[in-house]
Structure 1
Amino acid sequence: MASLTRSRSVPTTIPNHANFEYYVQRARSAGLVMTEGTLIVHQGTNWPNAAGIWSMDHARAWKRITDEVHNVGGKIFCQLWHKKLAEKPVPGPSAVQARGGEGLFERFGLDKSAGYSMPEPIEDPMAIIADYKNAALMAKEAGFDGVELHSANGYLVHQFLDFNTNKRTDKWGGSVENRCRFGLETLKALISVWGPDRVGIKMNPCGGYDDVGMPLEETKETFTYYIEEILKLKVAYIQLVNYLPQMDPELDGKKRGTPHDVLKTYGPLVKDPSNPSASNTTKLLLNGALNPDQANELISSQLIDAAVFGTLWIGNPDLQTRVEQGKELNMQLDHKTFYGFPGNDPKVGYSDYPDAV
């Protein structure tokens, strides 16, 4: 089950009973649940009602969820998330203000009137990495089975990777090696808490979100180096995200992202189907517009180790069971209920989808 930001931690960033019901419902059949993007610091977002994991209050609330996930036989990783968007200036690689784009806001009923703030360049990136380490420690207190670094979708780690949002001239910017440094050092901090086999990473080389998206050759160069260095750390998995045109906003009449076949381009770096014995210990996961039949074919062909589903888990809390038993999948989803907002019933479009009869 993919990390799916659902905005139901009302009235604060502390998980509540609605979150409890939602995760436990899905953990009964999911092979691995990845939480929604979970904030490592309060200053990291303007996203309403996103969950956090920076304090013992958060850890205690998540512990109630993880305990029950384990009781029903599930496993759950906490996705660690930092955004630069907020009502006041927040840290970013450089003072580059995102323009956003058309398409995403309207699709999900989000209010884009607040706009994007101008980030303040991070003086010492190691201080932010310390925040990630603290969140990893809190996730361990909360009883998670591991953590995933959110390194995709134009959020903080991705902003360091992309030269459109990273204009630094110190050791954290400029060359491919320098732009990858923040993500790699953050992974090392997470590994120091969890060990490599309990740390994963999500990345979206195609970009598009929050004005990230380099030309194709620069994208391939950056992410090839990034993945090669990540493999040296022997993390549990690398989750690649396919290009999704419906999630790619437009700027100046053009799609912002860099479409290319991520599995064909980067998959062989992680998994070599012609020589399985030479494969890395790191598993390869693929996410984005897959159906179960495609997933089974890719796994059977040894091109990936596991498939990650997002939207299907929203409307099908027993997705894996439905697939195994050949039952019909619920595809009647209301995108306007994907995210919860103050005043709305948190259960609607969240924990009120039934299991298959």
Structure 2
Amino acid sequence: MANTTTANHSALLSPLAIGPLKMPNRVVMSALTRSRCVPTNVPNDLNLEYYVQRARGGPGLIISEGILIVQQGTEWQNAPGIWNKEQVEAWKKITSAVHAEGCLIFAQLWHLGRTSHPDAPEQKASGEPVFAPSAISARGGKFRFIPGMPGYVTPTAIDDPRVLIEQFKQSAINAKEAGFDGVELHGGSGYLVHQFLDSTSNVRTDSWGGSVENRSRFVLDTLKELISIFGNKRVSIKLSPIGGYNDMGMPIEETLNTYNYFISEADKLDLAYICMMRYLPFLDVIYDGVPRAIQHDTLTSYRPIIQRSPLFLNCGVTPDEAEALISSKQIDAAVFGMPFISHPDVPKRIAMGIPLDTQIDFATLYGPGPQASLEELRKGYTDYPEATHKS
């Protein structure tokens, strides 16, 4: 399947100013977990090559793969972290190289919450249990790199969520030292931030749960701490109110009430952008024969609420669709994920009118593991070719 590029894309390829930051176009590279930080959680020279390839392709903004803020188990092994000096120094090499290509880069700050596992190597090394807002396990899951491929476990409810907020703040301090232009708080896909917002994963009876205001408190307080480090136009958030993935989703009325309130409050913080994920069948799951996602139209439901922060749209957006949505001022930029896996130069292909072939080799998507050779690690990661002519 190819994303068509039949239209003139002058709006999509036009500049966008976000506070002091100047995006040369509105093509954004999504955060993409690729599991190539071998042998542990420190970015390496292969990761550097990958980001330079994509920066050379000319996106308006690169959002890093999810960066773990603490030594936390993960659904995919070999994800990068940003909790120690070695990691910060490794990220400095990447941000410096990306900037040398004339590209901006944000760090996506990531905490898994209940979707980590006590037997994951990094979780075991941390000496900490799996933390979440409440002691409620997600259904499903499959940790392919743990013997027996176990599913999710019941997490330990965090006593004081302010401890987690301080961890996010420290990660922002580290990201700033590492040279990132800003940060994106991962508030979707069933991870920790999402778990606080959603009443199916947060059943706390203290000031961090229950009402919409209380469930939003953790996320808003975290955003404020990130802003204290970077400034408001350098902090953003990614949301997936549709739910589904990682067993998330409230009834439709509660979903609308929750996200209408939260987004209106977050927008008052004058963020760099709010990234909204819309429905993708690929990210949905089936339980007892019923899809988990709470399907509704993202733009119709939430666009009117956002008055101050730019709106970025993610999940299955094509160049032609992005052009129409930007031209009609429904969105400010489009976030492309899968196309950037198989094409290091998505903006150039759009400008040249070359269709984006999004056929991905899923066998290489999340890496071959820490014992793989360099050749095996490159496969499906840095070996996709750049476009040389219009087809």
Q: Does TM-score exceed 0.5, indicating one fold?
A: yes
In the alignment, the residues of structure 1 paired with residue 277 and residue 283 of structure 2 have an alpha-carbon distance, to the nearest angstrom, of 12
The equivalent residue for 1:275 is none
Give the 5 Å matches for 1:205-354.
Answer: 205-270=241-306, 279-280=307-308, 282-342=309-369, 343-344=371-372, 345-354=376-385
Residue 43, structure 1, aligned to residue 72, structure 2 = yes
| Contact in 1 for aligned 2:187/2:237 (Cα 8 Å) | yes
- Three-state SS of the structure 1 residue aligned to 2:246 is helix
**Among residues 122, 133, 148, which one is paired with 1:93 in the alignment?**
133
Residue 30, structure 1, aligned to residue 59, structure 2 = yes
In the alignment, the residues of structure 2 paired with residue 55 and residue 259 of structure 1 have an alpha-carbon distance, to the nearest angstrom, of 40
In the alignment, the residues of structure 1 paired with residue 383 and residue 269 of structure 2 have an alpha-carbon distance, to the nearest angstrom, of 40
In the alignment, the residues of structure 2 paired with residue 206 and residue 341 of structure 1 have an alpha-carbon distance, to the nearest angstrom, of 31
Distance 1:116 1:109, change over 3 A: closer
User: Letter of the aligned partner of 1:12 in structure 2?
Assistant: T
Query: What per-residue deviation string (whole Å, max 9, x for no partner) do you get for residues 244-272 of structure 1?
Result: 122101111111110110111001111xx
So what's the TM-score if we normalise by structure 1?
0.93
C-alpha displacement of 1:179? 0.5
Using the TM superposition, name which of 164-173 and 206-215 deviates more. Answer: 206-215
In the alignment, the residues of structure 1 paired with residue 148 and residue 327 of structure 2 have an alpha-carbon distance, to the nearest angstrom, of 43
- Three-state SS of the structure 1 residue aligned to 2:203 is coil
User: Letter of the aligned partner of 1:266 in structure 2?
Assistant: Y
- Three-state SS of the structure 1 residue aligned to 2:72 is helix
Query: What per-residue deviation string (whole Å, max 9, x for no partner) do you get for residues 170-229 of structure 1?
Result: 000000000111111110110010000100100000011222100111000000000000
Residue 145, structure 1, aligned to residue 172, structure 2 = no
CA RMSD of aligned residues (A): 1.7
So what's the TM-score if we normalise by structure 2?
0.85
Query: What per-residue deviation string (whole Å, max 9, x for no partner) do you get for residues 148-168 of structure 1?
Result: 000000000000111111010
Residue 188, structure 1, aligned to residue 211, structure 2 = no
C-alpha displacement of 1:239? 0.2
Residue 66, structure 1, aligned to residue 95, structure 2 = yes
Distance 1:299 1:178, change over 3 A: same
C-alpha displacement of 1:109? 11
User: Letter of the aligned partner of 2:137 in structure 1?
Assistant: Q
In the alignment, the residues of structure 1 paired with residue 386 and residue 147 of structure 2 have an alpha-carbon distance, to the nearest angstrom, of 32
C-alpha displacement of 1:47? 2.7
- Three-state SS of the structure 2 residue aligned to 1:227 is helix
Percent identity, please: 53
User: Letter of the aligned partner of 2:313 in structure 1?
Assistant: L
In the alignment, the residues of structure 1 paired with residue 368 and residue 147 of structure 2 have an alpha-carbon distance, to the nearest angstrom, of 11
C-alpha displacement of 1:338? 1.1
Point out where structure 2 has 5 or more consecutive residues left out of the alignment: 1-28, 119-128
In the alignment, the residues of structure 2 paired with residue 116 and residue 321 of structure 1 have an alpha-carbon distance, to the nearest angstrom, of 41
- Three-state SS of the structure 2 residue aligned to 1:211 is coil
Give the 5 Å matches for 1:72-87.
Answer: 72-84=101-113, 85-87=115-117
- Three-state SS of the structure 2 residue aligned to 1:294 is helix
Using the TM superposition, name which of 337-346 and 314-323 deviates more. Answer: 337-346
- Three-state SS of the structure 2 residue aligned to 1:137 is helix
- Three-state SS of the structure 2 residue aligned to 1:308 is strand
User: Letter of the aligned partner of 1:354 in structure 2?
Assistant: P
User: Letter of the aligned partner of 1:2 in structure 2?
Assistant: S
| Contact in 2 for aligned 1:3/1:79 (Cα 8 Å) | yes
The equivalent residue for 1:6 is 34
Give the 5 Å matches for 1:192-203.
Answer: 192-203=228-239
The equivalent residue for 1:273 is none
Distance 1:296 1:53, change over 3 A: same
The equivalent residue for 1:115 is 151
In the alignment, the residues of structure 1 paired with residue 145 and residue 85 of structure 2 have an alpha-carbon distance, to the nearest angstrom, of 33
- Three-state SS of the structure 1 residue aligned to 2:79 is coil
How many pairs were matched up? 344
In the alignment, the residues of structure 1 paired with residue 377 and residue 193 of structure 2 have an alpha-carbon distance, to the nearest angstrom, of 30
C-alpha displacement of 1:64? 0.3
